[in-house]
Amino acid sequence: MLNKVAEVVKKQINQNVERVKILYKDFRLYDFGSYALNRLTPRKGYTVHENIAYGLKARHRLDIFSAQSPREQRPLIVFVHGGAWLHGDKKDYRFVGEAFAKEGFDVAVINYHLAPAHVFPSYIDDLSLALNYLTQHQSRLKIQTEKVVLMGHSAGAFNVMSALYHPKPYSLQCRTKIRAIIGLSGPYHFDYKDDPICADAFDQSVPYQQVMPYYFVESNTVRHYLFLASNDQVVGHSNSEDFHRVLQEKGNHSQMITIPGTGHVSIMGSVSSLFSRYFQTKRQILTVLEEALKP
């Protein structure tokens, strides 16, 4: 009996080790890839205002990419990066700002404080602070928050969902103006207890049922778009499937969209102007944005 238990434990440990290897291999590749993407990202067709302080702390910074030919009412996309809450920086996502600014959107790309020094809900606190800052200073920043889209990748997708679905709801001044939330490869319903990738991002004494946005969904008019990478080896598709189900049970709009030929990291890189013609990601995002933002 003990031998069987030991075998099961060993198998689980090996599986977790493999997940960590995959994730950090992807991170190294993504660091190199995002550097190359940003070096090659066009500088024309938009303007960028970097390192705007939305709060008093070191990581309370955001960049705003402004469309030179803005759409009516200047819809604003607020993008939150991923990285298992341990890793990532807005400077690596110029290609995201460019990709959507050239389509007529204003784009705010934010930084937030990272684990292990900062754990949940600090990074959601940061997002709430940034959203209220953008609303309060929209005139000075030359943006509008009448039509807001929240978009995040991986941990960032968790963050944007948690801004709405949280144990203690945030006072978001733009809450009624949020038209859509786009989550790419998001972890919305999982047990982080002793997780080898992201355990340091959460208080291990708090059960995941008291944290995951899955458990705090409320009815609203926001349109939810859950993007899945067809070959995601890091975040299981069950996260989006479970979240999609509970959103619909509460009467909310929710749509799952699988992007062929992408993995956990490449689904994000594929929105770049350098690669978007070869993947469906950006085209599908623009399609749902048209749907969500129509009068």
Q: What are phi and psi of 55, to 5 degrees?
A: -160, -170
The string of pLDDT tens digits covering residues 247-287 is 999 999 999 999 999 999 999 999 998 889 999 999 999 99
- Give the span between the Cα atoms of 242 and 78, in whole angstroms: 24
Q: How confident is the model at residue 9 (pLDDT cuts 50, 70, 90)?
A: very low
- 153: helix, strand or coil: strand
Check if the beta carbon of residue 279 is closer than 8 Å to that of residue 247.
Answer: no
Q: How confident is the model at residue 1 (pLDDT cuts 50, 70, 90)?
A: low
Q: How confident is the model at residue 238 (pLDDT cuts 50, 70, 90)?
A: very high
pLDDT at 172 over 70: yes
Question: Cα–Cα distances in Å, from 289 out to 104, 136, 158, 218, 253?
Answer: 12, 24, 19, 22, 14
Q: Check residue 42 and give its pLDDT.
A: 80
């982080």: which residue's tokens?
192
Closest CA to 97 of 271, 285, 226: 271
The string of pLDDT tens digits covering residues 31-75 is 545 666 777 788 888 999 999 999 999 999 999 999 988 898 899
Q: Check residue 40 and give its pLDDT.
A: 75
The string of pLDDT tens digits covering residues 81-100 is 999 999 899 999 999 999 99
Closest CA to 112 of 32, 57, 36, 67: 57
pLDDT at 28 over 70: no
Check if the beta carbon of residue 259 is closer than 8 Å to that of residue 284.
Answer: yes
Q: Check residue 261 and give its pLDDT.
A: 95
- HEC string of 37-100? HHHHCCCCCEEEEEEEECCCCCCCEEEEEEECCCCCCCCEEEEECCCCCCCCCHHHHHHHHHHH
Q: Check residue 73 and give its pLDDT.
A: 86
The average confidence (pLDDT) of the chain is 90
- Give the span between the Cα atoms of 131 and 136, in whole angstroms: 9
Kindly tell me the sign of the dihedral angle through the C-alpha atoms of 231, 232, 237, 243.
Answer: negative
Q: Check residue 148 and give its pLDDT.
A: 98
The strand pair at 106-110 and 148-153 is best described as: unpaired
Residue % of the chain over a pLDDT of 70: 88
Q: Check residue 201 and give its pLDDT.
A: 97
Residues β-bridged to residue 61: 53
pLDDT at 4 over 60: no
End-to-end distance of the chain based on CA atoms, in angstroms?
A: 64
Closest CA to 286 of 265, 271, 266: 271
Domains and CATH numbers, the chain: 2-293 (3.40.50.1820)
